[in-house]
Amino acid sequence: MTSTDQKGPAVLEMSALKDGNSAISADAVAVDIHDNVGDDRNVPKKKTKTKEEELNDLKKELEMDEHKVPLDELCQRYDTNRVKGLRPEQVVEYLARDGYNELTPPETTAWWVKFAKQLFGGFSTLLWIGAILCFIAFTIQSVEQSNPQKDNLFLGVVLAVVVIVTGCFTYYQEAKSSAIMDSFKTMVPQMAVVIRNGEKLTLNARELVVGDVVEVKGGDRVPADLRIVSTHGLKVDNSSLTGESEPQSRSAEFTHDNPLETKNIAFFSTSVLEGAAMGLVVNTGDRTVMGRIANLASGLEIGETPIAKEIAHFIHIITSVAVFLGVTFFIVAFPLGYDWLDAVLFLIGIIVANVPEGLLATVTVALTLTAKRMASKNCLVKNLEAVETLGSTSVICSDKTGTLTQNRMTVSHMWFNSEIYEADTSEDQTGESFDKSSSEWSSLARIAGLCNRAMFKPNQDDSVLILARECTGDASETALLKCVELSVGSVEDMRARNQKVAEIPFNSSNKYQVSIHETEDANDPRYLLVMKGAPERILDRCSTILLNGEEVNMDENLRAQFNDAYLTLGGMGERVLGFCHYFLPADQYPVGYNFNTDEVNFPLDNLCFVGLISMIDPPRAAVPDAVAKCRTAGIRVIMVTGDHPITAEAIAKSVGIILPDSKTVEQIAEERGVHVSQVDPREANAAVLHGSDLKDMSEADLDKFLSSHDEVVFARTSPQQKLIIVEGCQRMGRIVAVTGDGVNDSPALKRADIGVAMGISGSDVSKQAADMILLDDNFASIVTGVEEGRLIFDNLKKSIAYTLTSNIPEISPFLLFIIANIPLPLGTITILFIDLGTDMVPAISLAYEEAETDIMKRLPRDPKRDKLVNDRLISNSYGQIGMIQASAGFFTYFVILAENGFLPSRLFGIREDWDDENIQDLEDSYGQEWTFDARKQLEYTCHTSFFVSIIIVQWADLLICKTRKNSIFHQGLKNHHLSFGLFFETALACLLIYTPGLNKGLRLYPLKINWWAPALPFSLIIFIYDEVRKYLIRRYPGGWVERETYY
């Protein structure tokens, strides 16, 4: 095998049992055997590969021949001795050449770099720019003016504090979801028993080298990739690699071309469940299967999340608007007679006024609240931005076992008396599918109970349902145990009444299990032999069959019936077992007979066939509805499994991934009686693709396949193929969610737009690589998450629309102040109170808004066209509602000044005199003289009234932002957080205005109650205008109003 660090890592990739209860077929993995199988570890060093080339190598299929080469030849290749092991000088040489047997940790990002990204990335950048411009403006004012106002300094400090606080909050939220490799470290065995120079040593596993002879026993972790030399009942748990907990037996025999299915290879970090073995180390460290997966997972780049892209797009829009307005008025300032210093201050002021200071905190808090809500629904989100990503998902690549199914084998059908019966899996056994008192069923149930090593774990509460009780034993035997317990009563009592006297355990070569029992009939001294196993093997050993309570000779007709039943059950994707029995003649096998199971001294042929029992890992109850919801929502569900295509297709049809009337190319060809190649693939809506066919596909072929079929199942896939499928979907512009539970899934989980790990059955590594963890391992929880993700996207739109609307009444006073030379209608400090005070809680309350009725009937959003902030949202917030709000503010401003003697005609061009401290006798429209202090008191009263008018029109804005299409009368006022938001902004405004001492410091003055009234009609206008707009959208879908105003 080519496995040298001079040549780069051996092209080793994991492709093991991902779903189903049997190992993946040879077709799941391409195995390329080197022409030259000699040791090539001393070849000249090649040029260093780029990171991309290394990752592409890691994606390739497993290449090795160590499982095929005769053991003596393998020992010669590694210059080792299978009895004495390596010599000390060889160990030193190999360690120097290959390095320690440990995983190379990836480059990690320092905590301070991550923190800096939170402080200076995305939306924070815009706020920092605003803060810096404020400090520049204050510096210019300090130089030019003897007594400068400190508004800009105050604003700059507040902006900086907002960024720092929200940055710390986000960093804290996401600090937990780091270091994929840390979880790999916990899987690495610490010590190993190794034979070197004929001596048995216990040393640190990191010191192992290729060619070492290692001993492992039950309870150990396999310390490196091993070729098994000898074994005594060794069983390993590959679930750390595959997510599949079925124990795998290991032996010294070469049993399969596929190295991942052959029994003579044990993989680094897998657990030894029982038995003992001696093995030859064939790969260490990064060159092991686990090392390959670790490097692939840690080497993949993580792209930007959709919400991060949307926020970046939003920043570009806001920045463009701010810079456009700022530069425009910078240029306009010169013709209006301002000097360059004033023009620069105007430029800075307008840009800062456009920055929505509170929006960063609003988005962060909204995402956090949704993450908490999702956690209560069994979706634990590790990365805040992943909350929205799930809502954008257009393709879900899902595992089968444990996600779509219950990960619990259950008896589904049985065949006896020449009929197929559906199993009754109800706890109270009320399902009348067959006569449970029949002698044939009694015989079949007796064999299933006695020829069975599964047992219920002790000390379980009797109130626990039988189907939910924990058992020891493999999945199939557990299913049989529960079925018999439900149908005929206590299996433990049955076994006590029919004592076992001999047993031949199941093995892969015989494919049957036999046990011999005393019978409970005191009048019958005969022993009962019971056997179960592969149906065709069992049938071959039978000469009679039990029919209607009698043994009849097996004939061709009965064999044909058996074959029909076997094909029917197998075609439903079920795992089928055959059962037979035989009463041993008392004269040949008297009581006390010494049965020898090594040199068999009892009959194993001419038995009596009793029946078949089939099992399947049934779909979770909630999955079909969840898949149907996905269809309605335009989300494509693709099954990616390591299981057999027939089983995969059966489960896909039962949960609705493939519809009942959909046909594959193979089914169309069968109906027409033609070869598959004569059928146009586009005619088939559904497709089940085998891993061996996927292996031969180019990227273009895969893209064509994915776009040609709506309903797709990938069966017998290897883990690197799962990664290739994800990348294929992403090339089509889809946002992909992937589920996985094994270490081998970690590359696909990391590459996906959102990786979803299993909380119960998932390995630590898969949980680290994922963005989200399903606490209940249930596919239906993903659909709940999709709904929450879509809801937060909708609600963020609403929050942003609400927040941006007040930008116009905040900016327009400043613009009119420049153009019309009027006293400043609204101060900088007051704007801050709106953005960081009164608007914050109402904006966050929109995150609690319930979904509009159509949320799961819409197609997934197109990330290229359906933006978080689009031109229609800007048009609606700035050009429509914002203008009405600004009108309300100016109306109130002019009313108050007019009541105090300054009619609008007097205000234009008055600004310079108004702000001049030396003018103490400025006349109003009626000839009254105003001192500087009196003018400023009136100006601050105007600031307060403008502030109050914005609060009042924002009441209506908050109500209209509850929905984007529905009427508020349809949506209702069930969001109590929003009701609190309305109360909060009003109460805070009153607190700021009417608290003695506080108002003076904040330059706000108590208003007469009647000065709250001028803005009320505008609030009503906003509400009526928007209700009419939404009515027209609903009344004329796709019409001009929807095209121009629906955001």
Spatial distance between the Cα atoms of 387 and 381, rounded to a whole number of angstroms:
7
What is the β-pairing status of strands 686-690 and 736-740?
unpaired
DSSP state of 33: P
Residue 504, classed as helix, strand or coil, is strand
Spatial distance between the Cα atoms of 237 and 232, rounded to a whole number of angstroms:
16
The alpha carbon of residue 960 and the mean position of all alpha carbons in its chain are separated, in whole angstroms, by 34
> Which residue in 19, 151, 237, 399 is the catalytic one?
399
Sign of CA dihedral 459, 460, 466, 469: negative
- Annotation says 399 is catalytic: yes
Question: Containing H/E element for 612?
Answer: strand 607-616
Spatial distance between the Cα atoms of 88 and 95, rounded to a whole number of angstroms:
11
DSSP H helical segments within 681-778, as ranges?
691-695, 699-708, 719-731, 746-751, 764-769
Q: How far is CA 233 from CA 83, 226, 273, 595, 706, in A?
A: 20, 16, 10, 22, 44
Asked if 874 and 864 count as a contact pair (C-beta separation under 8 A), the reply is no
Nearest CA to 581 out of 446, 473, 486 is that of 446
Q: Give strand ranges (E) for 88-244.
A: 191-196, 199-204, 213-217, 225-237
Residue 564, number of CB atoms within 10 A of its CB: 13
Q: How far is CA 493 from CA 446, 449, 856, in A?
A: 12, 10, 52
Instruction: Provide CB contacts within 8 A for 770, sequence distance 6+.
Output: 382, 740, 749, 755, 756, 757, 762
Q: Give strand ranges (E) for 404-507.
A: 410-416, 419-422, 455-456, 471-472, 500-504
Dmax over Cα atoms in the chain, in whole Å? 135
User: In three state form, how does the secondary structure of 752-813 look?
Assistant: CCEEEEECCCCCHHHHHHCCEEECCCCHHHHHHHHHHHHHHHHHHHHHHHHHHHCHHHHHHH
- Let me know how many helices (H) and strands (E) the chain has, helices first: 40, 28
Q: What is the CA radius of gyration of the chain?
A: 37
DSSP structure string for 352-397:
HHHS-TTHHHHHHHHHHHHHHHHHTTTEEESSTTHHHHHHH--EEE
Asked if 882 and 800 count as a contact pair (C-beta separation under 8 A), the reply is no
Residue type, 521: D
Instruction: Provide CB contacts within 8 A for 975, sequence distance 6+.
Output: 845, 848, 849, 850, 962
Active site residues: 399
